Structure 1
């Protein structure tokens, strides 16, 4: 199916999608702050500039968009135009994610990934449930956490 907007407009639209302060990230930050957690955001010294950094717990939280990180859920679908370009871009994002995870692990950081499908779409969880899961994880000794949508 052909795109309904010209290529220049589509390019401008996609370039305008920011990687910081996304809605899922803001939901997590607001909930964690209300639960009493204090954190830093987008720390440039750490691999991948984690969305939320909790130094006291030696933990980081990434709020991953399902499209941009190629998640295997209902929110991800490779576009039907320029398929090779998008597949290469998403594959590269996955490689960078894996490298960042490895570097963070080597540096002694615990890591959580909260997928966009856990916070929106037909498989979303209650926001309080996601925040509670993060809070429990932070106060545990568990190294990693991944929160996905229901049934994903």
Structure 2
């Protein structure tokens, strides 16, 4: 028995790329330390959630489900995908690959990359 698709749709619609609580908490902490940063910097490859240009530091705050962290820890990852099961096994590995590519390009360009997992 799967989840009600209308409830799943509402839940997914509330997930935000910008200004999610883990990102806001980190931004507040950086601000209190008088560290200036850019938010969703479109001029930095991979569009990090925060970037500190002075130090070439790219910070990504990602959900462990969406970026595959939780999936890697499971013995049977397919158990996570109760609805739209053909979609997710392609989506999550694509996110992992995109994250690795962004990391590598930033590192090649002299950036330091920090990835923070917002785990549930």
Q: Which runs of 5+ in 2 are unaligned?
A: none
Contact 1:78 1:86 in 2 (8 A): no
- Which aligned runs of 4 or more in structure 1 are off by greater than 4 angstroms? none
Please give the root-mean-square deviation of Cα atoms over the aligned residues, in Å.
Answer: 2.1
1:11-63 CA-to-partner distances (Å, cap 9, x unmatched) read 35313411111111111000111012111110111222101100111111111
Q: Which runs of 5+ in 1 are unaligned?
A: 122-152
User: Residue 80 of structure 2 aligns to a residue in which SS?
Assistant: coil
In the TM superposition, 1:120-139 aligns within 5 A as 121=120
1:2 aligns with 2:2: yes
Counterpart CA distance in 1 for 2:114 and 2:38 is: 15
Paired position in structure 1 for 2:23: 25
Counterpart CA distance in 1 for 2:101 and 2:116 is: 18
Cα 1:78/1:48, change in 2 over 3 Å: farther
- Deviation at residue 105 of structure 1 after TM alignment: 0.9
In the TM superposition, 1:89-108 aligns within 5 A as 89-108=91-110
User: Residue 112 of structure 1 aligns to a residue in which SS?
Assistant: strand
- Deviation at residue 2 of structure 1 after TM alignment: 1.9
The equivalent position to 2:80 in structure 1, one of 68, 78, 81, is 78
